[in-house]
Amino acid sequence: MGMAGSLQAVLASAASFFVIISIVSIIILLCRSTKIPTHPIRRTRKRPRTLAVQEPELSISIGESQSFDPSVRLISMEELKIVTKNFSADLIIGDGSFGLVYKATLSCGLTVAIKKLDRDAFQGFREFRAEMETLGKLRHPNIVKILGYCISGQDRVLIYEFLERGSLYQWIHESADVAGSEQLEKPVPLTWETRMSVVRDIANGLAYLHGLDTPIIHRDIKASNVLLDKGFEAHIADFGLARWIDGSHSHVSTQVAGTMGYMPPEYKDGATMATVKADVYSFGILMIEIATGKSPHWPMVLKDKEVGLAHWARKMVEEGEEMKMVDPNVQREELDEIKVKEYFRIACRCTSDISRDRPTIREVVDLLNQNWYVKLDISANVEEV
């Protein structure tokens, strides 16, 4: 009986010990969870939520709008929805990279082009950043002017000047609908002089970009990214892939950017560094496209063999067939054979397979000016819109 009492006493003591240990452990854990931080918490005013776009160093406030033109006041998303009829398909005038473009008239009476970026396109945020950093600061007669932008929730909208004649691609390859929703018929095929004037405008705009203190590589020069105003003056547009570059005139990139048919051959060999010479190559392809009316998206047939547009052009030039290359819609009496030959010679230099053999765009401007020194008359393609 005494032994049983001793055993009970031992068990009771052990139980009490474990209970005390458990209580102490809980107290320690509670103290640790409420430990006062070494650095005091800073009490700050609640700030608007921001969205980081592509690169972490840039953030854009939700509900933000900005105007880059003093003549245009800040525009809300509510107004943009009203003037576009909630972004109605009836007002679409183009399909830019990562978004649709609408024609609309603001309450102040100004007609503008409005690009609404795709919500589900991650690259759309990158394009938004690129266009903000470039177009908002650029002022040149051959660069499309951005008037402002607006952000609301996940919606991002860019507001541009409206250019009446639409894209160069439409005038080269399509027969109607060159003025947006007004559905105007193309009056006549572009004259040779108008085409040459457009080429020089594009070259001047590109020379401006490459000649900045911190040059800009456009990286997507093509017919659909050139817009024409009422007088057929050309404006380079769509800077979604554009990049500022350093003193080496190159931009390090982890992936190839551009449009098939316009991209230089070094990209096919695995090079991803963007350079000014890549823009020159794309411009050379565009020169050939403008003069011939042939799309770089489709292969050319040369002696029963399919080749690219640049290869076809070089072979035709080698054989002295430049006059046969000109778009059949161009009146032959407009053409000066010597100037036509020189034009295609310049284009072939721009599209050299070897990057270092291509001229700079400033050299191209000089060559074009030498070839067309006399002021061009493009009135044949100008009519009231």
6 vs 325: which has the higher pLDDT: 325
What does the longest C-alpha to C-alpha distance in the chain come to?
A: 132
Using CA of residue 5, residue 7, residue 11, residue 14, what is the dihedral sign? positive
pLDDT at 123: 54
* Edge-to-edge strands, sheet with 111-117: 65-67, 146-152, 155-161, 111-117, 99-105, 92-96
Has residue 280 got a pLDDT over 60? yes
Has residue 33 got a pLDDT over 50? no
Strand-pair partners of 99: 96, 117
Report the alpha-carbon distance of residue 324 to residue 304 in Å, rounded: 18
Query: Which band of pLDDT confidence, cut at 50, 70 and 90, is reported for residue 11?
Result: low
Q: Topology of domain 166-175+188-374, per CATH? A: Transferase(Phosphotransferase); domain 1 (1.10.510)
Query: Which band of pLDDT confidence, cut at 50, 70 and 90, is reported for residue 51?
Result: very low
pLDDT at 251: 44
Question: Binding site for Mg(2+): which residues?
Answer: 225, 238
- Taking only the tens place, the pLDDT of each residue in 88-136 is 999 998 886 678 999 999 888 899 999 998 876 545 566 666 667 677 8
| Residue 40: count of CB within 10 angstroms of its CB | 7
Annotated active-site residue 69? The verdict is no
Query: Which band of pLDDT confidence, cut at 50, 70 and 90, is reported for residue 81?
Result: very high
Q: Topology of domain 67-161, per CATH? A: Phosphorylase Kinase; domain 1 (3.30.200)
Report the alpha-carbon distance of residue 258 to residue 278 in Å, rounded: 10
Question: Binding site: which residues?
Answer: 116, 225, 238
Q: Where are the beta strands (DSSP E) in 132-208?
A: 146-152, 155-161
Has residue 285 got a pLDDT over 90? yes
CB contact set of 33 (below 8 Å; sequence gap of 6+) = none
Question: Binding site for ATP: which residues?
Answer: 116
pLDDT at 53: 33
- Taking only the tens place, the pLDDT of each residue in 339-348 is 999 999 999 9
269 vs 361: which has the higher pLDDT: 361
Average of per-residue pLDDT values in the chain: 78
Name the catalytic one among 220, 229, 304, 377.
220
Counting residues of the chain whose pLDDT is more than 70, the rounded percentage is: 66
Question: Distance between alpha carbon 20 and the CA centroid of its chain, in Å?
Answer: 70
| Every domain of the chain and the residues it spans | 67-161, 166-175+188-374
